[in-house]
Chains A and B, each alone.
Chain A
Amino acid sequence: MGFADDDDNLPDWLSDLNPSSAEEPGGEPAKEEAPDWLAEATPAEGGLFDALGDQDEDGDDVPDWLANIRTSEGRAPDEDPPPPTQPVSFEQEDEASADWLEPIRARESGSLPPLDEDSPDFGTRLKTLKAQDAPEEEPDASGDWLAGLNNPAEPPAASASDSGGDWMAGLSEPTDEPVAGAGFPLPEPEDKPDWLQEIGSGLGLGLTGTPAGESAPAWLMGEESSPDETGAPDLPDWAAAATSEAAEAVESEFPGLASEPGLGSDAPNWLTEFRPDAEPEPPSAFAADYDEAASEVFKLDSGELPDWLAQITPEDALPAPAEPEPVARPVVDDDTGDLAPAELPSWLQEMRPVASIDAADLQDQEAETAEAERIGPLAGLTGVLPAEPEIVQFGRPPSAASGLQLSEIQRGYSLQLAQMVAEEVRSPRRAHKANPLPQRLVQAVLALTLMAAVALPLMALLDFFSLPRTAGRSVPAEIQSALDVVNGLPPGSLVLVAVEYQPAFSGEVEAAATGLVDHLLIGGARLALISTLPSGPAQIEHFMATSQRINHPNYLPERDYYNLGYLPGGVSGLLQLATDPRVAITHRLTDGSDIWAQTAFANIFRVRDFAAVVVLADDPDAARAWVEQVQPALVDPISGRTTPLLVVSSVQAEPLLWPYVQNEPSQIQGLVAGLRGGAYYEASIRELRVRRYWDAYAAGLLVMAASLLIGGGLGLSRNLAGGLKRNKGGAR
């Protein structure tokens, strides 16, 4: 067989099974080490297959072990079982098989004639056995059990009982009691051979758990017997003592447990709850396979089984049928009325996990809420998985929360922040203090005083305060520069005037600009007014109508001055105006003609082509935008001639425009700021609007200055008084 080549690589246990070890000198180890049952079973199992290859009726070619089998099968029933046959090693089998295989090989090679169909080979014997009425008539039967397979109508009742042991004999005896609780239909006794009936009855006992009674073998009976009857003789003293102590403890704990009918003495009380009331399930396919294997095992002589195998019963080897796990429901004993059901508090009831809800209730609820499928191949089924939109959750998956790794510094920051928030919450909210009557009264008194100081000079039309010029003071440089610029403009020159003030400051800016614009009109200049504010066009018309209509009634729009309207784009529009005014200004006159088709604009191609640029602004940012975007374009890079930029601004923008005036070279050639600048300008030309406002302006400034002084003095005195009180309190 070649097993000797691999002998070194085999493990010990496999080496023991290696038949080559039988050839070792020093006796027959295989015979000695193999158990008795194995030594007996080995030739018996191989006898069938060897017999299939046996083609000769003579015993010459039959090996010895086969001869022993035949001998044992053909022995008389009253004969004792034959002694165990020595196990034959594979080498010996090879030798033996070589002898009986020789005719086969010879026939295949043609040296011997083919077998005659009448030759009593194995198949022929099967046919013969099938045709026989009684197995007793067959002198050389290969086995009664095989004959029983062929002729189940007449089972060989005596052969199995004879060949089996005592316990097998007991199995062979028919039992009058039906097999109770069998989960699968057993064949009728008359439809199966005796050995199958015996095995079936034996297995049926084991599987169904029905008490075997007299028909059970001794070892099977021991399963049902009490430990005192079976286990005690075999247990050592210490084990027997422990067993007896355990039995006494159980008896004391559960009195009457041992007398519980239908249960083993070891079954506790709780186990009785799970006693199956219904019939057990039919054995599985594995159990059926086990029946076949067990039938082979049961053929063995019980007297030849090892001790450990003899103690194994089919019930132990067969896996217990899977029983449904009992639902972990609390067993409510109605009889134990002393125990009241526990009442959980509401808060604890809410904390109870949802998983503790009864699963059966959940299933019922799911069954109630399940909707039957209406369309598709699954129509009519309930519990179908929902459609994809319910399964797929669109959007960002929930992010798993992770613990923050905080350092000590970060922890300190978080604590400080928490303290700050807590203090903020705790801090009393300052109650909304209604305006007290004295303060509101002070406001009203101040307002009325200021209005009165302004209104009286306006209504009286008294020249109480003289203009600055008349006081003999020199004109400021920035105003004088503006006067010089206007005086230097040729008659009929076109001046660009930017109206960049809001209506709220129109009173101041228009009053300051009245003298300068009047000066321009006197000099014969024509004005092109434009604004980057949406309200600019209206401001232009308002200024020209209110300031110049009285002094220059013949100065008409679109002939002497042009309202170019709104210049969009902010600083970008200003930059475009400085770069290409013909693109930036798209104004059309009321008759639809283009502004650039007018004679006054014929020579205007760049912004420096205007005779001068005058900006009327109330905001320093508006004036600065003109300085930054337009003023650089007013300088001719070739000749170096600079078109003058004059600014008439509110007095609040004056401080921020001074740097452009005093810069070297100056970016603003003339600045007229507020009523004071307008007064200087009008005083230099002629008294106009500022003269009307000057007394009111001076009176108002006096009242305001007095109010500031009085209020500041009161506040200072109150603070000083408070400081003195605190100092006195601290000193005490």
Chain B
Amino acid sequence: MSAGDLVGGFIAALLTFLVFSYALGDNGLFRLAVHLFIGVSAGYAAAVALNTVLLPALLERPLAELLVPLFWILLLFTKLSPRTAVLGNPASALLVGVGAAVAVSGAVQGTLLPQVAGSTSFFSPEKLAGALGSGQLGAALGYLVNGSLILVGTIATLAYFHFGAKNHPHQLPERHRLIELLARVGQVFIAITFGVLFAGTLSAALAALIERLDTLFDFLARMAGSL
């Protein structure tokens, strides 16, 4: 066991105990560990961006290719001062606009349209006929059940987030009865989804705890073995 491994393992074990102290409530030791983590992460991210992005681009590329990027970089630097921040708006607008356009187009082409097509495919006559023709009645019923659940779940969840209601005089505004019924069904789907996500979060946290304890025991075992 090298000295580096020893120091690194000791610091890791110490920080692990500091984080575990949160089980007794919020305290300064836990906040110290969190602040260290945030600071180290930010510093490491800056170092990575400088070493792997900025310096290679500035040193390896010809100056003619850097004029336009440097211009935009200078505009972004004007954001540091409130007086000159307005000069950086075009660069910020470019970043935000491009990012939003890429995200929206990707969501439409990669998520919305394929998911709509996949959800409607359960009711595809060709698919059902193929299953029935091959004697797979259960598969055909499964398609219909899955498709119906997806359809009902989608409509009911959308109805839950529909807050439009007619205003009746001297009465509280109420949604339409059909919308209200669908919203209650959608509430069930949403509750199940949140339950699954909560279970996944607990499971992920438990896996993180296991990994930390395993690392701690491994360090202690190696220290004991080195002794």
Contacts and interface: CB of A to CB of B under 8 A. Distances in A.
A663 interface: yes
A217 interface: no
16 contacts: A444-B23, A447-B20, A448-B23, A458-B217, A507-B215, A537-B48, A587-B52, A618-B204, A632-B110, A650-B204, A655-B200, A663-B115, A674-B207, A692-B214, A696-B214, A701-B206
A628 B109 contact: yes
B106 A693 contact: no
A461 to B, nearest CB: 10
B110 A667 contact: yes
Max count, chain A CB within 10 A of own CB: residue among B103, B106, B196, B206:
B206
A458 B210 contact: yes
A628 B111 contact: yes
Interface in B190-223: 193, 196-197, 200-204, 206-215, 217
A568 B52 CA distance: 9
A508 B204 contact: yes
B11 interface: no
Interface string A345-359: 000000000000000
B151 to A, nearest CB: 14
Interface residues of B, number: 47
A631 to B, nearest CB: 6
B74 interface: no
Contacts of B206: 450, 454, 697, 700-701, 704
Nearest to B41: A535
Contacts of B193: 655
Given A444-B24, A631-B110, A505 B208 contact: yes
Contact of A664 (B99, B121, B214): B121
B217 A455 contact: yes
Contacts of A696: 210, 213-214
Given A664-B118, A674-B200, A508 B53 contact: no
A571 B24 CA distance: 40
A697 B210 contact: yes
A455 B109 contact: no
A628 B203 contact: no
Interface of B: 20, 23-25, 41, 44-46, 48-49, 52-53, 56-57, 98-99, 102-103, 106-107, 109-111, 114-115, 117-118, 121, 193, 196-197, 200-204, 206-215, 217
A534 B49 contact: yes
Nearest to A626: B110
Contacts of A455: 213, 217
Nearest 9 interchain pairs by C-beta: A507-B211, A628-B110, A534-B45, A508-B207, A447-B23, A652-B200, A628-B106, A663-B118, A651-B200
Contacts of B109: 628, 632
Nearest to A658: B196
Contacts of A510: 211
Given A458-B214, A697-B206, A443 B23 contact: yes
B110 A651 contact: no
Interface of A: 435, 440, 443-444, 447-448, 450-451, 454-455, 458-459, 503-508, 510-511, 534-535, 537-538, 565-566, 568, 570-572, 575, 586-588, 618, 624-625, 627-629, 631-632, 650-656, 659-660, 662-664, 667, 674-676, 692-693, 696-697, 700-701, 704
B32 to A, nearest CB: 17
A659 B52 contact: no
Contacts of B48: 534-535, 537, 565-566
Given A652-B204, A674-B207, A693-B214, 20 more contacts: A444-B24, A448-B23, A450-B209, A451-B213, A455-B213, A458-B210, A458-B217, A508-B207, A535-B41, A535-B44, A538-B44, A565-B48, A628-B111, A629-B110, A650-B204, A652-B201, A663-B118, A674-B203, A675-B203, A692-B214
Contacts of A651: 200, 203-204, 207
A629 B102 contact: yes
Nearest to A459: B217
